[in-house]
Amino acid sequence: MKLPRDWSGRDLAKRLKVFGYVVTRQTGSHIRLTTQIGGEHHLTVPAHDPLKVGTLRGIFDAVARHHGLAVEVVLARVEA
């Protein structure tokens, strides 16, 4: 699985709407996302451009764990 190298934090926040995440606040250069699907879950995404690959992988891991999916499935849904 190859992660995208050119996504910004804002791009990722928009793409995570597929999983019900909405922006709840922004403080400085960090965006706080929350979903109610599968129970309340919060993510903090840096508003950097581009996101580092390790940061992106960590966010995908957290989303996959919360929703009980494989990281590959999460990536496929946000890229569609």
Reported as a single tens digit per residue, the pLDDT across 31-71 is: 999 999 999 999 999 999 899 999 999 999 999 999 999 99
Provide the CB-side half-sphere exposure for 41 (13 A, CA): 17
Which class for 63: exposed (0-12), middle (13-18), buried (19 or more C-beta within 10 A)? buried
Tokens matching residue 18? 């597929």
Residue 2 lies in a domain: no
Residue 55 lies in a domain: yes
CATH number of residue 28's parent domain: 3.30.920.30
What's the domain count of the chain?
1
Tokens matching residue 26? 């922004």
What is the mean predicted confidence (pLDDT) over 23-33? 94
